[in-house]
Amino acid sequence: MYPHERSLVTRMKDRPFALIGVNSDPDLEQLRARCAEEKITWRSFWDESTEGPIATRWNISGWPTIFVIDHKGVIRERDVRDAALDSWVDRLVRAAEEEAEASGE
C-alpha cells in the first residue's frame, strides 16, 4: 500500500490533491517511528484504535477503507485501489483544475 500511496502523492505534487489518512494504530510513539521509516509524509487524523471515534462514526469495519472525495467535497467512489484509484484521481484532479482555470479567466 505505502509505495503506491507515496507515488500518488509525488505524482500529484502541486496539484489540487491531498491524501488524508485516518489512522487506527493504538501506539502513537510507534506510529510516528513507522511514519518516519516508511516516509509517510501525508497527514493523518490519529483515531487511537479501530474502535476510535472517527472509525466508529463512519462505520468502518475493514482496513484499509478508501473514500474518493472531489474538490467540492462530494463522495464519488469508495473502496477502489491501484489503477482504478489512479484513474479516479486523475479524472477528478483534471476536473478541479479545469474549473479553477475557467473561474480564473
Residues from 35 through 94 that contact other proteins (CB under 8 A): 35, 38, 43-47, 50-51, 53-60, 63-78, 85, 89, 92-93
The phi-psi region of residue 59 (left if phi > 0; otherwise alpha if psi is between -120 and 50; otherwise beta) is left
The C-alpha atoms of residue 78 and residue 67 are separated, in whole angstroms, by 4
Nearest distance from C-beta of residue 102 to other proteins, angstroms: 14
For residues 101 and 20, the answer to whether their CB atoms sit within 8 Å is no
Query: Taking CB under 8 A as the rule, does residue 6 contact other proteins?
Result: no
For residues 93 and 16, the answer to whether their CB atoms sit within 8 Å is yes
Residues that bind other proteins (CB under 8 A): 1, 5, 8, 16-25, 28, 31-32, 34-35, 38, 43-47, 50-51, 53-60, 63-78, 85, 89, 92-93, 96
